[in-house]
Amino acid sequence: MDARWKPNVTVAAIVEQGGRFLLVEEQTADGLKLNNPAGHLDPGEAPADGCAREALEETGHRFRPTALLGIYLTRTRRPSTGEDVTYLRLAFCGELGERDATRALDEGIVRTLWLTPEEMRASAPRHRSPLLLRCMEDYLAGIRHPLSTVYTDPGVTSV
């Protein structure tokens, strides 16, 4: 019997202020890459809560999701290992709080930076995921869905 296929579920914060988007530069097995503040959904976690947690861990900023931007599916082959990986990303936009200067950034995160859409498009070869640009373009197109679009059964968070 074949093993059941299970995509990796990730959450991402899409943050825009003054025409620039908040990104992280992170060390990966494939070198230094750019990404949205994002990461894997943890057990017992609602997606919006996971997004807020990941944004805090990777940027030092509190983040309050206010809308679901979209649900995205991508498949990639990691250059360093050849591993075939599929990701299911729930991307949220919202409000960014002040940075806690005493908080260290997550392991592997080198720095945060703010890029314009033009700078993001020009840096595409350095993106960790093709979803970086797609999420930005959807945000700029005004796509927003209510947070209630993603329902989390109470059994998930009561673990």
Number of structural domains in the chain:
1
Q: Is there a domain that residue 87 lies in?
A: yes
Out of 40-54, 77-91, 141-155, least confident range: 77-91
Q: Is there a domain that residue 155 lies in?
A: no
Instruction: Specify the pTM.
Output: 0.93
Give the full edge-to-edge strand order of the sheet including 8-14.
38-40, 8-14, 84-99, 61-77
Residue 97 belongs to domain spanning: 8-147
Q: Is there a domain that residue 103 lies in?
A: yes
pLDDT at 49 (0 to 100): 98
Mean pLDDT of the chain: 95
Q: Which residues of 92-122 are buried (b: 16+ CB within 10 A; e: fewer)?
A: bbbebeeeeeeeebbeebeebeebebeebee
Q: Is there a domain that residue 19 lies in?
A: yes
Q: Is there a domain that residue 3 lies in?
A: no
CATH number for the domain spanning 122: value is: 3.90.79.10
Question: Which structure tokens are listed for 97?
Answer: 């709080």
Q: In 3D, which of 33, 52, 31, 30 has the Cα closest to residue 41?
A: 52
pLDDT category of residue 159 using cuts at 50, 70 and 90: low
What digits encode the pLDDT tens for the residues 52-92? 999 999 999 999 999 999 999 999 888 788 889 899 999 99
Mean pLDDT of 4-21: 95
pLDDT at 30 (0 to 100): 87
Q: Is there a domain that residue 111 lies in?
A: yes
